[in-house]
């Protein structure tokens, strides 16, 4: 039973446009969410996170939105650049008790020049 | 310098063999992890470990065991390899004691193929 789901395995976007990557979760105890980015033959690298006390967190071109009632979060990248082409993983945890992350299966983003 | 390194990068072996994957971090972190990325691309935690506590994911077979000679190293030993063990294994580390909200730094992964 996958508690974190990324239902789109791939997404293609034109350079300069907005990329929106989606993530859904089922565990209502999750209160901290992260996005990791992974290039081929490398390990995931941390991108941005959000606590459930917020509904938005922004870092440069990257913004994460959290909709707790819908158990949904999204990562917006604007403007998208070819170097953003990578696999993006959503992860979640219950910071109060669980001490491990639960990851989604990732979305391959391709930014076309 | 690579923050989290793993060796080997690729490992091809026969069913039934015993193998080890090594992991080293030079970040001075307290906690290290092993993840398995399965064929469906999910990254699943196998172990979380520091020098005081080991948390084992209950779904991990006891053929898998982490061994830590010191704080900077967490090796993964696998006994009696099975076909289903074929996957990419990632090592990671984080600053504090098993706090999931701390940023985890991942190694490049080891692709294990069991024939």
pLDDT tens-digit map of A24-34 = 999 999 999 99
- Average pLDDT, stretch B64-93? 94
Which chain B residue lies closest to A37 (C-alpha atoms)?
A: B106
Asked if the Cβ–Cβ distance from B45 to A101 is below 8 Å, we say: yes
Confidence band for B75, pLDDT divided at 50, 70 and 90: very high
Partner residue facing A98 (CB), from B41, B100, B103: B100
Average per-residue pLDDT for chain A: 94
DSSP category for residue A78: S
Residue A103 with chain B: CB contacts under 8 Å: 35, 42-44
Q: If pLDDT is split at 50, 70 and 90, which confidence band does A85 have?
A: very high
Q: What is the pLDDT of residue A73?
A: 97
Residue length, chain B? 115
Does B103 contact A at CB distance below 8 Å?
yes
HEC string of chain B?
Answer: CCCEEEECCEEEECCCCCEEEEEEECCCCCEEEEEEECCCCCEEEEEEECCCCEEECCCCCCCEEEEEEECCEEEEEECCCCHHHCEEEEEEEECCCCCCCCCCEECCCEEEEEC
């Amino acid at each position: 039973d996958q508690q974190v789901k990324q239902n789109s395995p791939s997404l293609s976007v034109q350079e300069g446009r907005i990329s929106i990557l989606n993530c859904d979760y089922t565990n209502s105890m999750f209160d901290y969410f992260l996005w990791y980015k992974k290039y081929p033959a490398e390990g995931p690298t941390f991108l941005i996170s959000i606590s459930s006390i917020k509904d938005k967190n922004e870092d440069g071109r990257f913004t994460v939105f959290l909709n707790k009632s819908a158990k949904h979060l999204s990562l917006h990248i604007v403007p998208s650049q070819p170097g953003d082409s990578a696999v993006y993983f959503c992860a979640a945890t219950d910071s109060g008790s669980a001490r491990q992350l639960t990851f989604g299966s990732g979305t391959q983003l391709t930014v076309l020049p | 310098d690579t923050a989290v390194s793993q060796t080997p990068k690729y490992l091809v072996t026969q069913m039934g063999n015993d193998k080890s994957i090594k992991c080293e971090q030079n970040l001075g972190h307290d906690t290290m992890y092993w993840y398995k990325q399965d064929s469906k691309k999910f990254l699943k935690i196998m172990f979380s470990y520091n020098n005081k506590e080991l948390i084992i994911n209950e779904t991990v077979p006891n053929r898998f065991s982490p061994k830590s000679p010191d704080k900077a190293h967490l090796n993964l030993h696998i006994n009696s390899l099975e076909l289903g063990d074929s996957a990419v294994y990632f090592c990671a580390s984080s600053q504090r004691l098993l706090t999931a909200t701390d940023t985890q730094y991942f190694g490049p992964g080891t692709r294990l193929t069991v024939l």
